C-alpha cells in the first residue's frame, strides 16, 4: 500500500511583555520553576497529537514531526495563564498563543480531502492534550504555593520520556541504515552505483542469494551503461552450477534461451514464479513494456511474499504505472 507522508507545520512565537519589572520577574520565577512540568506537558501533547493523527487521518497517511507537542504547549500557555490573570503579562501570553493556535487548528476538517501537507489532526490532538494537562496542573496547584506540586514526579516523567524516545531512535537508525545499504532499495531508487556495490557484496558472500545477486548486478550495470555488464554476467555464469537453477536465468540474458524456454526449465512453483519475473525483466530491457507488465503481475500473484522477486515485481509495476 502506498503511504502518503505528511509533515506537521512549524511555528514561531514572539511575544513582547509589558508591565512592571517586578511583575515580570515574579511570573518568570514561577514559570522557570515549573519549566519541567511544562516540558512534560509538551511531550505528552506530542503523544496526544500522534494518537489523534492515527485516529482521525486516513489509514494511508503517516504524520511525522513535533508540532503536535508545540501546539500543545501554546494551548497549555493559554490555560496556564489563568494562574497569572492579575498580571500584565497574562494577556500578552494569551494573544501570542492564540495567534499561533488559530491557523494551526482551523483547517482540520478539510486537510485530508485537500491533500495538504500539514497534519492538522496531530495539531488538534496536541492542543487538547496540552490544555487538559495544564488544567490538571492548575487543579493541583494551591494558590498559596509559588510552584506547582509534584515537581519530582514531573522530573521523573520527563526523564522516562527521554529514555523511551532515545530507545525509539534505535529501530529508526537501523531502518535508515538498511534502506541506504539494501541494494534492491538502491536499485529501484535509481542509485545504481550503490546497488552495484551492494550486489557485489552479496555475490562475494557465496550464499544462496549469490547467483541472484550477480544477475541483479548485471541489471544495475546495464542501467548505467557499463560496457562490462555482459562480460561480467558471462563470467558469473561460468562459475555457476550449470545443472541447477538459476542457471537458466543467466542463459536468458546471455541470449541463449527465450523466455518460454526458460520457464520450461523451472522444476517447481517457486522456480516458475522466478522465471515469470525474470521474463518480465527481459521484456522490459527489450522495450516490450506491456509484455513486461503482464509478467510482473503474474510474478506478484505467484511468488511468495518473502521472495525478492515478489517485492521487485511490485516496484516494477509502480514504476511502469508512473510512466
- 35-39, 82-86, 171-175, range with the lowest pLDDT: 35-39
CATH number of residue 315's parent domain = 1.25.40
Please indicate, yes or no, if residue 77 is contained in any of the structural domains: yes
Answer with the residue of higher pLDDT: 233 or 205: 233
Residue finishing a domain among 128, 151, 174:
151
Residue range of the domain that includes 83: 4-151
CB atoms under 10 Å from CB of 292, counted, come to 21
Query: What is the reported pLDDT for 128?
Result: 80
Please indicate, yes or no, if residue 211 is contained in any of the structural domains: no
Are 146 and 263 contained in the same domain? no
Please indicate, yes or no, if residue 23 is contained in any of the structural domains: yes
Answer with the residue of higher pLDDT: 191 or 87: 191
Query: Residues of 206-215 as b/e, b for ≥16 C-beta within 10 angstroms?
Result: eeeebbbbbb
Please indicate, yes or no, if residue 116 is contained in any of the structural domains: yes
| Highest mean pLDDT, choosing among 48-52, 85-89, 92-96 | 92-96
Please indicate, yes or no, if residue 257 is contained in any of the structural domains: yes
How far, in Å, CA of 227 to CA of 310, rounded?
29
Residue finishing a domain among 122, 151, 180:
151
Query: What is the reported pLDDT for 142?
Result: 73
How far, in Å, CA of 191 to CA of 188, rounded?
7
Please indicate, yes or no, if residue 205 is contained in any of the structural domains: no
Is the alpha carbon torsion for 203, 209, 214, 220 positive or negative? negative
- In a 3-state reduction of DSSP, which class is residue 231? helix
Please indicate, yes or no, if residue 67 is contained in any of the structural domains: yes
Q: Please state the pTM of the whole predicted model.
A: 0.50
Query: What is the reported pLDDT for 277?
Result: 96
Please indicate, yes or no, if residue 111 is contained in any of the structural domains: yes
Query: What is the reported pLDDT for 315?
Result: 92
Taking alpha carbons only, the member of 168, 194, 196, 199 closest to residue 180 is 194
Are 147 and 246 contained in the same domain? no
Are 129 and 15 contained in the same domain? yes
- Statement: residue 318 has pLDDT above 70: yes
Q: Taking all residues of the chain, what is their mean pLDDT, rounded to a whole number? A: 75
Categorize the per-residue pLDDT at 10 as very low, low, confident or very high, splitting at 50, 70 and 90: very low
Report the domain count for the chain: 2
Q: Give yes or no for a contact between 46 and 68, defined as CB atoms under 8 angstroms apart.
A: yes
CB atoms under 10 Å from CB of 147, counted, come to 13
- Cell representation of residue 97: 498563543
- Statement: residue 283 has pLDDT above 70: yes
| Mean local confidence (pLDDT), 114-132 | 70
Half-sphere exposure at residue 239, Cβ-oriented, CA atoms within 13 angstroms: 13
Residue finishing a domain among 151, 174, 189:
151
Q: What is the DSSP secondary structure assignment for residue 9, as one 8-state letter? A: P
Query: What is the reported pLDDT for 109?
Result: 46
DSSP H helix total and E strand total for the chain: 16, 2
Amino acid at each position: 500500500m502506498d503511504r502518503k507522508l505528511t509533515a506537521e507545520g512549524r511555528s514561531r512565537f514572539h511575544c513582547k511583555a509589558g508591565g512592571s519589572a517586578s511583575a515580570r520577574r515574579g511570573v518568570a520565577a514561577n514559570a522557570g520553576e515549573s519549566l519541567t512540568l511544562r516540558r512534560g506537558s509538551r511531550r505528552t501533547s506530542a503523544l496526544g497529537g500522534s494518537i489523534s493523527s492515527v485516529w482521525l487521518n486516513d489509514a494511508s497517511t503517516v504524520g511525522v514531526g513535533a508540532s503536535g507537542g508545540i501546539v500543545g504547549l501554546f494551548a497549555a500557555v493559554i490555560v496556564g495563564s489563568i494562574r497569572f490573570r492579575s498580571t500584565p503579562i497574562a494577556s500578552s501570553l494569551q494573544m501570542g498563543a492564540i495567534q499561533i493556535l488559530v491557523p494551526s487548528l482551523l483547517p482540520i476538517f478539510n486537510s485530508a480531502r485537500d491533500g495538504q501537507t500539514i497534519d492538522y489532526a496531530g495539531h488538534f490532538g496536541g492542543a487538547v492534550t496540552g490544555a487538559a494537562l495544564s488544567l490538571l496542573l492548575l487543579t493541583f496547584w494551591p494558590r498559596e504555593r509559588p510552584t506547582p506540586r509534584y515537581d519530582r514526579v514531573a522530573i521523573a516523567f520527563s526523564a522516562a520520556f527521554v529514555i523511551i524516545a532515545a530507545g525509539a531512535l534505535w529501530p529508526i537508525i537501523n531502518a535508515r541504515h538498511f534502506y541506504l545499504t539494501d541494494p534492491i532499495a538502491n536499485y529501484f531508487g535509481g542509485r545504481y552505483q550503490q546497488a552495484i556495490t551492494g550486489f557485489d557484496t552479496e555475490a562475494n558472500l557465496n550464499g544462496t542469494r549469490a547467483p541472484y545477486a550477480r544477475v541483479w548486478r548485471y541489471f544495475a550495470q546495464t542501467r548505467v551503461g557499463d560496457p562490462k555488464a555482459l562480460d561480467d554476467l558471462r563470467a558469473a555464469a561460468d562459475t555457476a552450477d550449470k545443472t541447477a537453477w538459476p542457471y537458466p536465468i543467466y542463459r536468458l540474458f546471455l541470449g541463449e534461451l527465450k523466455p518460454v524456454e526458460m520457464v520450461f526449465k523451472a522444476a517447481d512453483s517457486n522456480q516458475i514464479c522466478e522465471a515469470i519475473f525474470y521474463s518480465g525483466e527481459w521484456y522490459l530491457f527489450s522495450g516490450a513494456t506491456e509484455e513486461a507488465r503482464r509478467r510482473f503481475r503474474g510474478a506478484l500473484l505467484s511468488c511468495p511474499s518473502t521472495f525478492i522477486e515478489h517485492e521487485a515485481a511490485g516496484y516494477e509495476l509502480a514504476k511502469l504505472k508512473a510512466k
